[in-house]
Amino acid sequence: MKTKYTKDSLIAFEDRVAQEFKDGKINCPVHLSGGNEDMLLSIFNTVNERDYVLSTHRNHYHYLLKGGDPEKLMAELRGEEGGCCGGKGRSMHIYDKSINFLTSAIVGGICSIGVGIALGVKKKYKGKKDRPMVWVFVGDGCEDSGFFVEAVRFGVSRDLPITFVIEDNDRAVEATKADRWHNHSQITSKNIIRYNYVSTKGHVGVGEFVSF
């Protein structure tokens, strides 16, 4: 049965990951989520079991909310064979076919994969009512890439069952949108959802940095 998460239980999982990293039990790069729990809980209320969820290097919350096993994810972060990817994917490269979940740690890399899946879904399911949706989660840094713009336009022009969710924490490495865009406007489209949040864990501007 799919676990029902709350804001507190999501935070508790990432706190556990952070502590195990500090204790040396996790020895791979880890990108922690934090500050976006309420937004994701709301979005995942509309994500169905048959839907596809595609994520980035910051994927723990997405995996859990899609129905992933938290203990298998922890085992994966530790590099254990019992992990959801047999200990090979670690934190940044999570894949679980059983729940239609996959990631790419390449910024923008997941966008073209998403439209490919959505195109396949459209061809397989002729009726709109019975076909699954493809959800692609990206950061606002990805929004700067041509990969993202091309995928959004392709999805709209082909009327694909795909939604891009921009998780906007106003950071691409250390650069804010003002640094990067100056007076340019953010990208909008009917297949884009954007939410803004302030990072609370292991990120530039929060007073805590993850290092080896």
- Domains of the chain, start order: 7-196 (3.40.50.970)
Instruction: Identify the band that residue 173 occupies on the pLDDT scale cut at 50, 70 and 90.
Output: confident
Distance CA 82, CA 89 (A): 12
1: pLDDT strictly greater than 60: no
**Facing residues of 194 across strands?**
166
| Predicted local distance difference test score (pLDDT) of residue 211 | 46
Q: Is residue 54 helix, strand or coil?
A: strand
Mean pLDDT, rounded, of the chain? 91
Amino acid identity, position 165: V
Answer yes or no: pTM beyond 0.85. Answer: yes
**Alpha helices, DSSP H, located in the chain:** 7-22, 37-44, 60-66, 70-78, 109-124, 146-157, 177-181
Query: CB neighbours of 179 closer than 8 A, spacing ≥ 6?
Result: none
